[in-house]
Amino acid sequence: MDLINFKEYPVKNVLDALLKDKTTKKNIIFATDAYSEYNVDSKTEMTSDFILGLDSFVIQPRVFKSLEEQSQRTRKKAEVFTPSWVCNRMNNHCDAEWFGREGVFNREDGQTWTVNPEKVQFDKPDDWQKYVDSNRIEITCGEAPYLVSRYDTTTGDTISVPERIGILDRKLRVVYENTDNEEEWLKWTCRAFQSVYGYEFQGDNLIIARVNLLMTFVDYMRERWGRVPDDDELKKIANVITWNLWQMDGITGTIPFKKPKEKYPQMTFFDFEQGINDTENEEVDCRIFDWRSKKSITYRSIKEQRR
């Protein structure tokens, strides 16, 4: 079973958009040597032609990768495998802090959970909107298992919409329960997507994460309204996803293999010898989008504001 299908709706419809890097205005790069047999290196841009030319099993979630490849990625990039029940437990903890009570969305039972079927209660009428708008980020997000839970990360089995436990899944449940027409649902669903962020180093993980969010949009629309998104709706949500899930070296705050910008750079003789326009290691701070103020900002500027 393919959890990720690049050659069919809805992914194929917006694949070019999902591969974009909003910082460089180019495409995201592989940032891994796992595809060297296909004559690409870690700095090669990922293209739709390349991906669509691969067999469907090549770029798939970690659960379907060989044990050898999983081990290599853990050693080389500290790629951590997180079971869905652990994601649920940690998300429950965050929600307990937000709501001031336990068991808002589900009750944990060992390595599984039981969904709370009652409508989520808020202290004030507009608190559900504040919850949807509350910004959350998954650092080094991999396939984004904390944000969305389309499938069990240990087995690859799909999880039905009502049983999902991701941060975005919870927000979409709240939107489902508090909107009664399609226009309002679309508005607050978009705001829910705008409120969740994540960054990842490796390009194949990032495109899987972006696809997982796109498929989540499709799943919830089908569940709520009995239809799938049209191309305009897909393009709108894909633009949000591409801004909010970006490629970055979490240590430097730049796109992979680029150096961070120095506050007070010192010019040397060698700078003039090599040329100051040399772009091999150009300084590229990653940019994200503040949807409420409607402007792009650097990720570094957010970190500096909070010091």
Which pLDDT does position 64 carry in this prediction?
80
Which pLDDT does position 56 carry in this prediction?
82
- Identity of residue 210: R
CA 257 to chain centre: 20
Which pLDDT does position 53 carry in this prediction?
95
Instruction: Tell me the C-alpha distance between 2 and 83, whole Å.
Output: 19
Which pLDDT does position 196 carry in this prediction?
98
Which pLDDT does position 278 carry in this prediction?
46
Instruction: Tell me the C-alpha distance between 162 and 160, whole Å.
Output: 6
Domain ranges, ordered by start, for the chain: 11-260+280-305
Instruction: Tell me the C-alpha distance between 217 and 171, whole Å.
Output: 12
**Which residues contact residue 263 at a Cβ distance below 8 angstroms, ignoring those fewer than 6 apart?**
none
Q: What's the whole-model pTM score?
A: 0.90
Q: What is the DSSP string of the chain?
A: --S--TTSTTHHHHHHHHTEETTTTEE-B--SSTTGGGT--TTSBP-HHHHHTS-TTSS--GGGS-HHHHHHHHHHH-PPP--HHHHHHHHHHHHHHHHSSS-SSEEEETTEEEE--SPPP-SSTTHHHHHHH--EEETT-TT-TTT--SB-TTT--B--GGG--SHHHHHHHHHHHH--SHHHHHHHHHHHHHTEEEEESSHHHHHHHHHHHHHHHHHHHHHHHSS---HHHHHHHHHHHHHHEEE-BTTTTBSTT-PPPPSS----HHHHHH-TT--TT---B-EEEETTTTEEEEHHHHHHHT-
Tens of pLDDT along the chain (307 residues) come to 578 999 999 999 999 999 999 999 999 999 999 899 999 999 999 999 999 999 988 898 988 865 445 555 444 555 567 999 999 999 999 999 999 999 999 999 999 999 999 999 999 999 999 999 999 999 999 999 999 999 999 999 999 999 999 999 999 999 999 999 999 999 999 999 999 999 999 999 999 999 999 999 999 999 999 999 999 999 999 999 999 999 999 999 999 998 766 655 555 544 444 444 444 556 689 999 999 999 999 998 887 776 5
